């Protein structure tokens, strides 16, 4: 509802990377009915919630705050608040895509959390994480890199990380081979001339694109994420 439905990308995954094969083909219309969410298990609702949160970090601080205060997996959230959040996320993405349909420049901001997130999906053969869970880890990772660079204040980092954790339990990243993650990052479809641009938050509601994130920065961030305790999923 809030991610692939808006934007016109039609792609498939490949063993060497996420969304590596595809095209741009805009839909005639996008119809969103939140009633369909009632058919989903909590984990899938939570998956979508990370994409909404991402939009808030990119350019909508009130949206971020709303999702940060929502219940885990959005279970039992007020229907009106949920509809407003979905609409706000779609509005932000549609505005960006309208100005940069084929990801020439501005649209890259929508990749916040996805550079590491796609790598985590790829190295686990798309089996450990849902897409949103991987993006959630990627959001914390991007915020950690930004904090280390002095681009993001420590309180803002904690706000982003806490909001991700507050959405509910997700599989951890401990045990992922760093060299495999680095290889997957290097093969990211957004790589240009051997470099992979990272979208980094500078505040809640603002981001910048950084072209020179180093291997050392990524390894340090992977260590930090591996040592971070992920919220655990309760057994039924």
Is residue 4 included in any domain, yes or no? no
Burial class (CB in 10 A: 0-12, 13-18, 19+), 159: buried
Q: How many domains does the chain have?
A: 1
Is residue 100 included in any domain, yes or no? yes
Q: What is the pLDDT of residue 4?
A: 84
3-state secondary structure of 147: helix
CATH number at residue 128: 1.20.1090.10
Is residue 93 included in any domain, yes or no? yes
Is residue 235 included in any domain, yes or no? no
Is residue 232 included in any domain, yes or no? no
Question: 113 vs 84, 95, 108, CA distance in Å?
Answer: 23, 19, 11
User: 153: domain range?
Assistant: 9-226
SS3 content of the chain, % helix, strand, coil (to 5): 55, 10, 35
Is residue 220 included in any domain, yes or no? yes
Q: What is the pLDDT of residue 10?
A: 80
Looking at the predicted structure, is the pLDDT value of residue 131 above 80?
yes
Q: Which of 23-27, 79-83, 173-177 has the lowest mean pLDDT?
A: 23-27
Beta bridge partners of 203: 206
Q: What is the pLDDT of residue 91?
A: 94
**What rounded mean pLDDT belongs to the chain?**
90
Q: What is the pLDDT of residue 236?
A: 37
Q: What is the pLDDT of residue 204?
A: 98
Beta bridge partners of 206: 203
Strands, DSSP E only, in the chain? 9-14, 17-24, 198-203, 206-210
Q: How many angstroms separate the CA atoms of 209 and 200, rounded?
A: 6
User: pLDDT tens-digit profile of 149-190?
Assistant: 999 999 999 999 999 999 999 999 999 999 999 999 988 766
Is residue 84 included in any domain, yes or no? yes
Is residue 79 included in any domain, yes or no? yes
Burial class (CB in 10 A: 0-12, 13-18, 19+), 191: middle
Q: How many angstroms separate the CA atoms of 209 and 107, rounded?
A: 11
User: pLDDT tens-digit profile of 105-123?
Assistant: 777 899 999 999 999 999 9
Average pLDDT (29-53) is: 94
Q: What is the pLDDT of residue 193?
A: 56
């Amino acid at each position: 509802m809030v991610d692939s439905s808006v934007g016109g990308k039609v792609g498939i995954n490949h063993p060497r990377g996420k969304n590596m094969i595809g095209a741009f083909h805009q839909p005639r219309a996008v119809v969103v009915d939140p009633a369909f969410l009632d058919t989903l298990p909590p984990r899938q609702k939570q998956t979508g919630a990370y994409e909404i949160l991402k939009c808030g970090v990119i350019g909508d601080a009130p949206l971020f705050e709303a999702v940060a205060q929502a219940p885990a997996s959005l279970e039992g959230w007020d229907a009106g608040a949920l509809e407003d959040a979905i609409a706000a996320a779609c509005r932000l993405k549609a505005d960006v895509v309208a100005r940069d349909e084929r990801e020439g420049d501005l649209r890259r901001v929508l990749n916040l959390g996805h550079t590491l997130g796609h790598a985590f999906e790829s190295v686990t053969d798309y089996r450990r994480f849902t897409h949103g869970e991987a993006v959630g880890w990627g959001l914390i990772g991007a915020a950690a890199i930004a904090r280390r660079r002095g681009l993001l204040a420590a309180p803002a980092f904690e706000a982003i990380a806490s909001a991700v954790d507050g959405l509910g339990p997700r599989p951890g990243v401990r045990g992922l081979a760093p060299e495999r993650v680095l290889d997957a990052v290097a093969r990211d479809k957004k790589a240009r001339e051997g470099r992979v641009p990272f979208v980094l938050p500078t505040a809640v509601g603002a981001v910048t694109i950084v072209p020179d994130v180093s291997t050392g920065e990524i390894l340090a961030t992977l260590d930090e994420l591996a040592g971070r305790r992920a919220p655990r999923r309760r057994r039924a």
